[in-house]
Structures are given as structure tokens and as C-alpha cells.
Amino acid sequence: MKFSLHNKPWALLLIVLAISMAFASIRFVAFLVTPPGSGSNVQVVTVGQGADLRTTARMLEKLHLVSSARLFVLNARLRGAASRLKAGPYQISDGMTPSEILEKLVSGDVYVQRFAVPEGYSIFQVAELLQQRKIFRKDRFLAVCRDRKLLKELGVPGKSVEGFLYPSTYDIPPGAAEADIIREMVHQFDKVYDARFDDLARKEGLTRVQVVTLASMIEKEAVSPTERPLIASVFMNRLKRGMRLQSDPTAVYGVRAFGGKVSKADIERVTPYNTYLIPGLPPGPIGNPGSAAIDAVLHPAQTEYLYFVARQDGSHQFSDTLDEHNRAVRQYLR
């Protein structure tokens, strides 16, 4: 007896279904392991608080980051991840597989820009770096640095947050405002200063502003970290004797970045910060010092030094007397 599919239509249906399921399985597996593109399409996708899986999948498909929203939803449900997506911004490219994208959304691997504040940088230099990185506009950041309401909120004296942006690395999420990152930097400064320096500064009779102002000058002057306590001793010795500090970086603060050299015109320029012309400390910090510079203020070397001059390698020659200093100037600056 001959077997005929015409005699058994249900058998043909089973074969068609089996073939369809095989093709569907192959397509699903290919979807999971094959990125939809080369990686050139990079998007920052924000998953909203409470956003459902279907909405997120359709957004990914619309941006050409996955080839099928339906299959993305199916994969998430099969893996028990349908309700586990975490809100936030994510950087996703079309070079990622759907499984990799799902893992990122479930783990909460949100996108942030990392930004480092170098020790000693002024608010002007920090603003320049932020603009170069296309995080904030320079003029807008500087304006917020001087915002009186924010200064009052943060308890920062003076006309700006200069000196209180703690040098460290910060994660800046997309959409963050200038005030948000400034708050984080100042709070980090407060945390470090209160824990390590506040008690000692009070014992030494120094205010927070005085400590940070001196530290900012030391940070600008010292190329070698080992010289910070020596430079601190010079400033302390000169203050005790009522001598002007004559610190080169103060002569150009607010005019240009200090590059190690100043001109005669610089030291003769009349500004509130120019310690060649004003007695004592400038009215506030000239940069944002790190912990080592603050520590040098509170633990200066015990010396009789009153002068120092830079050598060609960036280190300094220290002197007790003006005659010694003049000889060093002739030797190293001729």
C-alpha cells in the first residue's frame, strides 16, 4: 500500500509547521547573535522610570539598534527580564547583539562621561576642559561658578567656587546641569577637608579660605611634589615678617593660565590678586588644590627660606637672604 500525503492532509500540515518552526528558530537565534549593523550607529537611549518593555523595544527598533522589537520582547520574556529593565541613559550601538543590549539594560550599566579635574586647575581651566569635551559651555559653567544663590547654598565664601572644586574624577550623566556637577565637586572637597584638615587648621588659627588660598598658590608654583612643603615654608616665613608674597601665578590669575613664566608687565599689572602689589594673601584661591598642597600648608618644612627661583628643569633654588636669591636669579635666569 502506497503512502500519500494527499490522503493524510494533517501530516502535510505537521511538516509545514515543523519547517516553519525551524525557520523561526533559526531566525530567532540569528537575531540574538547577529548585530544589526557595523557599530557606526551609536545612540544614547534613555529608559524612563516605569517604561515598559514594549515601548523600549519599539524605540530600539526605530533607532535601528535592533532589527525586530517583537523578537527583542520575546527574548526578554524567555530570560525572565521583562520587568527588570533599569531606568537611565544607555549608550548603545548597532554593533551590539540584542542579548548584549538586554544585559546592559538589566544590569543598569548607564552611560556617563568621566571628567577629571586636575590638581591646581582654576575654574577657567576647568571650564575650558569641559567645553573641549563638549560637556558644558565654558561661559555657562563660569556663570554658574559665580552664582550667588548656589554659593550661599554650598556655604562657599567669596565670589566664586574657586578653590573648592576638589580635584578628582567625576561621572557626568547626560542631561546633568552645571550646578549638579559643581555641587558634587564642592561636597567632595568638604568631605575631604572636614575629615583630614579642619581640626588642624583651627589649631593653627587658619580659616578654610586662608588654607585653600595658600594651597592653591603652592599647587601652581610646585612642579615637584617634594617641594610643596618648602614653598609653603617660604610663604609662611614671608607672612610672619610682613613681606609681600610675590607669587608669580597670582600676577596672571584671571588674565591667562600660568605657564611657569611671567613678564614685567604681568607683575606690574594692577589686580586684586597680584601679590607683587598687594600685602598678604590674595582675596581668595587662584586654583583648586589637591590634598597634598593643603597638607603642605598645615605641615610646612621648618626652614628660614624667604625666596625661591625656578631652575631650568622646573625645580627651585631656595634662599635665606636676598643676596643669595639674587645670585640664584643670575645663575638660573640669565
| 274 Cβ contact partners less than 8 Å away, ≥ 6 residues apart | 250, 251, 267, 282
Please give the pLDDT value at position 195: 97
pLDDT tens track for 305-334: 999 988 888 789 899 999 989 998 888 776
3.40.1110.10, 3.30.1490.100, 2.40.40.20, 3.30.1490.480: which CATH number matches 39-111?
A: 3.30.1490.480
Instruction: Please tell me whether residue 265 adopts helix, strand or coil conformation.
Output: helix
Q: Which three cell numbers stand for residue 148?
A: 550667588
pLDDT tens track for 157-201: 999 999 999 999 999 988 889 999 999 999 999 999 999 999 999
The domain ranges of the chain are 39-111, 113-195, 197-333
Of the pLDDT bands very low, low, confident and very high (cuts 50, 70, 90), residue 48 is: confident
d(CA 168, CA 171): 10
Residue 6 has pLDDT above 60, yes or no: no
pLDDT tens track for 97-137: 999 999 999 998 888 888 999 999 999 999 999 999 999 99
Residue 7 has pLDDT above 70, yes or no: no
- Rounded average pLDDT over 53-69: 92
Q: Which residues of 168-191 are buried (b: 16+ CB within 10 A; e: fewer)?
A: bebebeeebebbebbebbbebbbe
- Rounded to two decimals, what is the model's pTM? 0.78
Of the pLDDT bands very low, low, confident and very high (cuts 50, 70, 90), residue 12 is: low
Query: CA angle at residue 32 from 31 to 36, to 5 degrees?
Result: 55
Residue 82 has pLDDT above 80, yes or no: yes
* Average pLDDT score, the chain: 89
Of the pLDDT bands very low, low, confident and very high (cuts 50, 70, 90), residue 24 is: low
Please give the pLDDT value at position 21: 63
Nearest to 318 by CA among 205, 232, 210: 232
pLDDT tens track for 261-274: 777 888 889 999 99
- Rounded average pLDDT over 85-96: 91
Query: For the chain, what is the largest distance between any 2 Cα atoms, rounded to a whole number of angstroms?
Result: 124
- Rounded average pLDDT over 4-14: 59
Of the pLDDT bands very low, low, confident and very high (cuts 50, 70, 90), residue 303 is: very high
